[in-house]
Amino acid sequence: MQITVCLTNNRPEPWIDGLRAALPGAQIAAWTADAPAADHAVVWEPPQAFLDQQPRLRGIFNIGAGVDALMKLKLPPHAHIVRLDDAGMSVQMAEYVCHALIRHFREFDSYDEGARAHRWAYRKPRSRADFPVGVMGLGVLGERVARAVAHFDFPVNGWSRSPKSIEGVRGFVGAEQFDAFLAASRVLVCLLPLTPQTRGVMRRETLCQLNGGQPGGYVINVARGAHLVEADLIALLDEGQLAGAALDVFDNEPLAPTHAFWSHPKISVTPHVSARTLRDESIAQIAAKIRAIEAGTGFDRLPGVVDAQRGY
C-alpha cells in the first residue's frame, strides 16, 4: 500500500514519521513529481498537479475538518474525501466560542480598559435571557459548541439542514426557518462548511435581522472567511447596528497587515487558531480509517466521508 503525503504550508516529515509508526508495512513518502501513484493520500490544500498524477487513489484524507479547498479541484474518479472527524477540535472550538461569548457578555474588554487606567468601576449585570446565541451548523463542531454554550445557561438556537434534537438547543431547519433563527438570536456563531449555499451567509440583509432587528448583535466567525461579507460587517459596526465581532477566519489569509479588521475597536482577530489540527490525534484517526478500509470496510461506513453532492 502506497501512501503519499502532500501538505501545502505544513512540513510533511512529522506526518510521515507518525504514519509510518502507525501503519508499519505501508510505503509512505512525501509527494514529488516522480513519486509512484498512491492508494491513499494525506493532504492539505494539494495542488491540482498532485491529483492529476493519481489514477488509483481511493482515499484522500484531509488533515482538517473543512474541505472547501479540495472541492474546488478535479478529483480522481474513484477517490473519496475523508475529513477529520473532531480529532480534538471540538473541545477547542467550544473553548474559543465560550471565551468570545463570555468576554462580550461580561464586558471584559471594558474591565481591561478600566484596569489599564487603574479605574475601579462596576458595570451593571446583564441578563443571559437578553443574549440568545444562534449556532449555524450543528455538525461535529457546532453541536459541541451549542452544548457548551447551553451549559452556561444562555438560550441557544441552532440552525442546520436536517432536524436535530440537542438538549437545551432550539432547532431551526433549512432556508425556510433561517429568518426566524436570525431574529431569535443575538450572538451569531458560524460553524457551517463553506459551500455555494453558505458563501456570504453573513451579509447586511441577514446580519440586520439578528436580535429581532434591534441593534446589539454580535458575530463570532470560526468557520471560513467567505461566509462573511467583510465590508457589510464593518459598515454595520460603524452604524451601531452590530455591537462587535470575534473573527478567526478571513477571506484572504494571512490577513493583510493593513486590513481594517486589525485596528477596528469592535473587532477582535485571531489567526485561524480556534481549533488547531492536533497531529497525533489526527494521525491516529487517519491510520485507523486506512486500516479499516484495507480490512474491507466500505467508505460509506466511515465517519467523516464527504458527500460530493452536498459539498461537505
> Measured from the CB of residue 102, what is the shortest distance to ligand OXD in angstroms?
23
Length of the chain: 312
> Measured from the CB of residue 217, what is the shortest distance to ligand NDP in angstroms?
19
- Figure out which of the listed residues 18, 59, 66, 304 binds ligand OXD, where binding follows CB under 6 A: 66
- Figure out which of the listed residues 16, 51, 188, 194 binds ligand NDP, where binding follows CB under 6 A: 194
Binding segment toward ligand OXD, per CB under 6 A, in 21-29, 48-56, 61-69, 238-246: 61-69
> Measured from the CB of residue 235, what is the shortest distance to ligand OXD in angstroms?
27
- The CA dihedral of 182, 184, 186, 190, to the nearest 10 degrees, is -40
Q: Which is nearer to ligand NDP, 184 or 191 (CB)?
A: 191
Q: H-type helices in the chain, by residue range?
A: 13-22, 48-52, 68-71, 89-105, 108-116, 140-151, 178-183, 204-207, 230-238, 260-263, 279-294
Long-range (24+ apart) CB contacts under 8 A made by 11-14 are 14/279
**Binding characters for ligand OXD, 21-60, by CB under 6 A (x = yes):** ----------------------------------------
Binding segment toward ligand NDP, per CB under 6 A, in 50-58, 70-78, 229-237, 269-277: 269-277
Mark whether 56 is an active-site residue: no
Neighbouring residues of 288: CB distance < 8 A, sequence distance ≥ 6: none
Mark whether 272 is an active-site residue: yes
Q: Which is nearer to ligand OXD, 172 or 250 (CB)?
A: 250
Q: Is the peptide bond before 257 cis (omega within 30 degrees of 0)?
A: no
C-alpha cell at 153: 445557561
Give φ, ψ of 49 to 5 degrees.
-55, -35
Binding segment toward ligand OXD, per CB under 6 A, in 63-71, 101-109, 150-158, 254-262: 63-71
**Binding characters for ligand NDP, 22-61, by CB under 6 A (x = yes):** ----------------------------------------
Q: Give me the catalytic one of 204, 259, 272, 279.
A: 272
Neighbouring residues of 240: CB distance < 8 A, sequence distance ≥ 6: 215
Asked if residue 65 binds ligand OXD (CB under 6 A), the reply is yes
Rg (CA), the chain: 21
Q: Is 146:169 a contact under the CB 8 Å cutoff? A: yes
> Measured from the CB of residue 69, what is the shortest distance to ligand OXD in angstroms?
9
Q: Is 64:49 a contact under the CB 8 Å cutoff? A: no
SS3 content of the chain, % helix, strand, coil (to 5): 35, 20, 45
Q: Which is nearer to ligand OXD, 9 or 258 (CB)?
A: 9
Angle between helices 279-294 and 13-22 (to 10 degrees): 50
Name residues contacting ligand NDP, limited to 78-97 (CB under 6 A): 89
- Figure out which of the listed residues 140, 219, 233, 246 binds ligand NDP, where binding follows CB under 6 A: 140
The rounded distance, in Å, linking the Cα atoms of 127 and 154 is 9
Q: Which residues are catalytic?
A: 224, 272
- Binding interface with ligand NDP (CB under 6 A): 64-66, 89, 137-142, 159-162, 191-195, 197-198, 222-224, 248-249, 272, 274-275, 312
- Binding interface with ligand OXD (CB under 6 A): 64-66, 277
